[in-house]
């Protein structure tokens, strides 16, 4: 089985000059396969400015730059891919079907993702993202604890699926966690046994609990707080993750 790699995700808000240095520090700590810019509530111009600054840092370290939520902005800034939540997939699907009401779409006027509690299983949203991004870009999809959503995502053209949250996390509300469920490591084992697409494990992961997920079959370990809030800095956090994954 290939070595599990780190998938870094930004905090929901950043001070760009400071964070650019933090990202460089993170890469100095060891192997990182991907970085996702996830700025919830930021304006389009802020997202594009951050991407312009951070993409060269990622590429200098042979890491993919993934943008959260926004295939339109991902295409505009030259990102390597986009990561979609189930709400994003549903919003894109409604847009493709022409069923969105005025003001409804990928992002609302306040730059919040439009809430669509019942994801559409047909996968039109993933196809729409592919049209916007191009065939050579990466599309990842959050599938929570659902084998069905993961299989649908793969069938409709996703390049990877993400399962989680595996552990308690501050990046998702209690309501969201209750809505989507908490997966167990068995879902990673099942995915690796029957599927070929890479899978990502996310949610409350730290150097002390990541090894069991790596052994279960996670191709990537996605982390936020455990890296950016590490007492010795992001580089030390990345080094600690890499050691734990190899144990």
Percent of the chain with pLDDT over 70: 85
Buried b or exposed e, range 64-83, using 16+ CB within 10 angstroms: bbbbbbbbbbbbebebbbbb
User: pLDDT-based confidence at 108, cuts 50/70/90?
Assistant: very low
Mean pLDDT for all residues in the chain: 88
pTM: 0.87
Can you tell me whether residue 223 is helix, strand or coil? strand
Element (H, E) at 91: helix 86-97
User: pLDDT-based confidence at 125, cuts 50/70/90?
Assistant: confident
Residues 96-114, mean pLDDT to the nearest whole number: 37
Residue 118, pLDDT > 90, answer no
pLDDT value, residue 100: 41
Question: Distance (Å, rounded) from C-alpha 82 to C-alpha 151?
Answer: 18
Question: Distance (Å, rounded) from C-alpha 1 to C-alpha 22?
Answer: 31
Q: Which two tokens stand for residue 31?
A: 């192997």
Could you read off the pLDDT of 90-100 as tens digits, one per residue? 778 666 555 44
Q: Please list the residues that pair with 107 across neighbouring strands.
A: 113
pLDDT value, residue 123: 60
**For the chain, counts of helices (H) and of strands (E):** 11, 8
Q: Count of CB atoms within 10 A of residue 40's CB?
A: 14
pLDDT value, residue 2: 74
Can you tell me whether residue 141 is helix, strand or coil? strand
pLDDT value, residue 174: 67
Could you read off the pLDDT of 32-47 as tens digits, one per residue? 999 999 998 899 999 9
Cα-to-chain-centroid distance, residue 202:
8
Could you read off the pLDDT of 181-221 as tens digits, one per residue? 889 999 999 999 999 999 999 999 999 999 999 999 999 99
The shares of helix, strand and coil residues in the chain, as percent rounded to the nearest 5, are 45, 15, 40
Residues 137-161, mean pLDDT to the nearest whole number: 96
Buried b or exposed e, range 195-222, using 16+ CB within 10 angstroms: eebbbbbbbbbbbeebbebbebbbbbbb
């Amino acid at each position: 089985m290939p070595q599990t790699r780190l998938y870094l995700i930004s905090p929901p808000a950043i001070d760009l000059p400071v964070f650019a240095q933090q990202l460089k520090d993170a890469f100095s700590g060891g192997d990182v396969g991907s970085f996702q810019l996830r700025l919830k509530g930021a304006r389009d111009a802020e997202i594009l400015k951050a991407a312009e600054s951070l993409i060269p840092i990622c590429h200098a370290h042979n890491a993919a730059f993934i943008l959260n939520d926004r295939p339109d902005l991902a295409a505009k800034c030259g990102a390597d891919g986009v990561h979609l939540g189930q709400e994003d997939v549903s919003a894109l699907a409604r847009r493709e079907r022409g069923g969105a009401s005025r003001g409804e779409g990928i992002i609302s006027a306040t730059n919040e993702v439009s809430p669509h509690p019942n994801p559409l299983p047909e996968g039109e949203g993933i196809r729409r993202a592919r049209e916007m991004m191009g065939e050579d870009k990466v599309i990842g999809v959050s599938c929570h604890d659902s084998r069905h959503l993961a299989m649908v995502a793969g069938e409709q053209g996703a390049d990877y699926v993400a399962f989680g949250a595996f552990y308690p996390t501050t990046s998702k509300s209690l309501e969201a966690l209750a809505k989507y469920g908490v997966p167990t490591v068995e879902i990673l084992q099942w995915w690796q046994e029957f599927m070929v697409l890479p899978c990502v494990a996310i949610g409350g992961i730290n150097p002390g609990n990541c090894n069991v997920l790596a052994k279960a079959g996670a191709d990537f370990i996605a982390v936020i707080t455990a890296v950016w809030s590490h007492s010795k800095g992001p580089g030390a956090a990345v080094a600690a993750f890499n050691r734990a994954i190899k144990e």
